[in-house]
């Protein structure tokens, strides 16, 4: 098929007529489909149902040091949970704190803590005139919402397939001591599915920030969330790199089992240097008497070790892979060569990132909604919800069934075509 961008006015008009007709037909189906959030599907949740049976009414509920997990005590995680999430995070258990059910909550609390208490003895951010964060874009809307909520100024940094533009990161971070952090999803990034290259990680570890309390918020949400056994991305472990570079305190690494066991009923962890973890613990020991140790025990007894986690993630992959491939095939087949969009082809994670012609994303999302398909709001992948080019759309293929997803993907490509034609017609 001819590139839309090379069509003349009459060709575009004829095409629009045809697409309008298709759209009315599809709209008449009254679909109600959702590709908006990175939610596991029911089939994926079913994979963990046996977890409900590992702790029984007659189980021994002591952790390996003999502490009764039913009672108060052990503020920063039972040893076996630290070991399991340590393996998942590729760090020693001593560099791990286990939290409650949400790593997002840990990130939020880290910002809240920095606001009122400051980072490792530095001035609390709420006492400063200006605090800024770097935001690789497109990125994760929930991250940006946190910094926005605390009135932190966000600066866009373009993403590349190798990670954020490190020339820009290095320059900004070394020049401006108001910059206190950067949001990163370093593996199978949200939404592009990119994995930071070795060079990117090394440059992160060697950063020389002007601010002593600058921290890299390394949200390794998809560390073991591969789609393929034989085509996996590899991410260099950053905490070790930071130590090597003489910057041991530079990074907070976050992880959780939310998309391994159950979203909302998983366990979360942070990995960092001892000095940073002491900062976390000082806050935590005032904030709570402790997190849910029974759920920690439940996870350890179900997954056992890293190999158990990997085996489990392969089952997730078997469910997710056909969904990603279906969407990608549809995009290739329907939009390939038309010059009206580009998209990523991730090897893991939860998202596909789509870039439309400039100024079309909002209209595409609105059009899809009109036809009964909910997409992540256009702009959501940018700080303040403002995509300067109005072109990025995050596609989340995980939740719908394959059948529904097929329909939703058809709606999506149709909306892309239609909105692009309208755009080109001017």
Residues forming the site for its own copies (CB under 8 A)? 37, 39-40, 42, 45, 48-53, 55-59, 61, 68-73, 100-102, 104-105, 108-109, 112, 115-117, 124, 126-127, 142, 145-146, 149-150, 258, 262-265, 283, 286-295
Please say which residue, 294 or 311, places its beta carbon nearer to its own copies.
Answer: 294
Least Å from the CB of residue 69 to its own copies: 8
DSSP string over 256-283: ESTTTS-TTSS-EEEE--HHHHHHHHHH
Least Å from the CB of residue 46 to its own copies: 9
Least Å from the CB of residue 121 to its own copies: 15
Please say which residue, 13 or 294, places its beta carbon nearer to its own copies.
Answer: 294
Least Å from the CB of residue 286 to its own copies: 5
Cα(188)–Cα(55) distance, integer angstroms? 33
Q: Which residues, 6+ apart, have CB-to-CB distance to 263 below 8 Å?
A: 39, 40
Beta strands 215-219 and 179-184 are: parallel
Least Å from the CB of residue 57 to its own copies: 4
* Closest CA relative to residue 256, chosen from 266, 265, 247, 246: 266
Q: What is the gyration radius of the CA atoms in the chain, in angstroms? A: 23
Query: Please, are residues 252 and 218 in contact by the beta-carbon 8 Å criterion?
Result: yes
Please say which residue, 53 or 175, places its beta carbon nearer to its own copies.
Answer: 53
Least Å from the CB of residue 126 to its own copies: 4
Please say which residue, 133 or 204, places its beta carbon nearer to its own copies.
Answer: 133
Least Å from the CB of residue 70 to its own copies: 4
Please say which residue, 30 or 57, places its beta carbon nearer to its own copies.
Answer: 57
CA dihedral 238, 105, 98, 46 (to 10 degrees): -100
Least Å from the CB of residue 264 to its own copies: 5
Cα(77)–Cα(293) distance, integer angstroms? 7
Least Å from the CB of residue 74 to its own copies: 9
Please say which residue, 29 or 288, places its beta carbon nearer to its own copies.
Answer: 288
Helix (H, G, I), strand (E, B) or coil at 205: helix
Cα(361)–Cα(391) distance, integer angstroms? 5
Distant-in-sequence contacts of 373-376, Cβ < 8 A, 24+ apart:
373/31, 373/33, 373/34, 373/35, 373/407, 373/408, 373/411, 373/412, 373/415, 374/33, 374/34, 374/35, 374/36, 375/35, 375/36, 375/412, 376/35, 376/36, 376/37, 376/141, 376/191
Point out which residues pair with 96 in neighbouring strands: 271
Please say which residue, 43 or 243, places its beta carbon nearer to its own copies.
Answer: 43
Please say which residue, 127 or 230, places its beta carbon nearer to its own copies.
Answer: 127
Cα(368)–Cα(145) distance, integer angstroms? 24
Query: Please, are residues 280 and 97 in contact by the beta-carbon 8 Å criterion?
Result: yes
Point out which residues pair with 218 in neighbouring strands: 184, 253
Least Å from the CB of residue 281 to its own copies: 13
* Closest CA relative to residue 315, chosen from 387, 236, 224, 235: 224
Please say which residue, 5 or 60, places its beta carbon nearer to its own copies.
Answer: 60
Separation of CA 259 from chain center: 11
Please say which residue, 142 or 304, places its beta carbon nearer to its own copies.
Answer: 142
């Amino acid at each position: 098929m001819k590139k839309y961008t090379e069509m003349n006015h009459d060709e575009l008009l004829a095409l629009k007529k045809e697409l309008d007709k298709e759209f009315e037909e599809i709209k008449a189906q009254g679909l109600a489909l959702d590709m908006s959030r990175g939610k596991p599907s029911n089939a994926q949740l079913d994979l963990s149902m046996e977890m409900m049976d590992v702790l029984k009414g007659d189980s021994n509920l002591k952790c390996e040091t003999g502490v009764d997990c039913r009672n108060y005590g052990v503020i920063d995680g039972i040893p076996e949970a630290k070991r399991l999430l340590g393996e998942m995070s590729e760090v020693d258990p001593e560099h791990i704190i286990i939290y409650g059910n949400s790593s997002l909550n840990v990130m939020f609390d880290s910002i809240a803590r920095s606001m009122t208490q400051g980072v490792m003895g530095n001035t609390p951010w709420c006492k400063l005139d200006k605090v800024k964060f770097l935001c690789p874009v497109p990125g994760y809307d929930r991250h940006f919402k946190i910094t926005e909520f605390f009135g932190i100024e966000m600066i866009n940094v373009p993403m590349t397939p190798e990670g954020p533009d490190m020339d820009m990161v290095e320059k900004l971070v070394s020049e401006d001591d108001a910059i206190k952090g950067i949001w990163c999803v370093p593996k199978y990034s949200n939404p592009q599915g990119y994995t930071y290259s070795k060079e990117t990680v090394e440059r992160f570890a060697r950063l020389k920030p002007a601010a002593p309390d600058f921290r890299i918020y390394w949200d390794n949400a998809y560390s073991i969330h591969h789609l393929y056994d034989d085509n996996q991305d590899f991410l260099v472990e950053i905490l070790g790199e930071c130590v090597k570079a003489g910057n041991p305190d530079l990074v907070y690494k976050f992880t959780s089992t939310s998309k391994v066991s159950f979203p909302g009923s998983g366990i979360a962890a942070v990995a960092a240097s001892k000095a940073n973890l002491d900062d976390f613990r000082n806050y935590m020991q005032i904030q709570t008497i402790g997190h849910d140790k029974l759920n920690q025990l439940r996870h350890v007894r179900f997954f056992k070790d890293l190999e158990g986690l990997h085996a489990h993630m392969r089952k997730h992959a078997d469910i997710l892979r056909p969904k990603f491939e279906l969407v990608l095939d549809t995009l290739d087949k329907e939009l390939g060569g038309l010059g009206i969009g580009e998209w990523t082809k991730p090897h893991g994670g939860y998202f596909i990132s789509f870039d439309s012609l400039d100024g079309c994303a909002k209209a595409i999302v609105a059009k899809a909604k009109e036809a009964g398909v909910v997409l992540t709001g256009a702009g959501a992948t940018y700080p303040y919800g403002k995509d300067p080019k109005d072109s990025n759309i995050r596609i989340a293929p995980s939740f719908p069934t394959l059948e529904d997803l097929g329909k939703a993907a058809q709606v999506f490509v149709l909306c892309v075509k239609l909105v692009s034609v309208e755009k080109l017609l001017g």
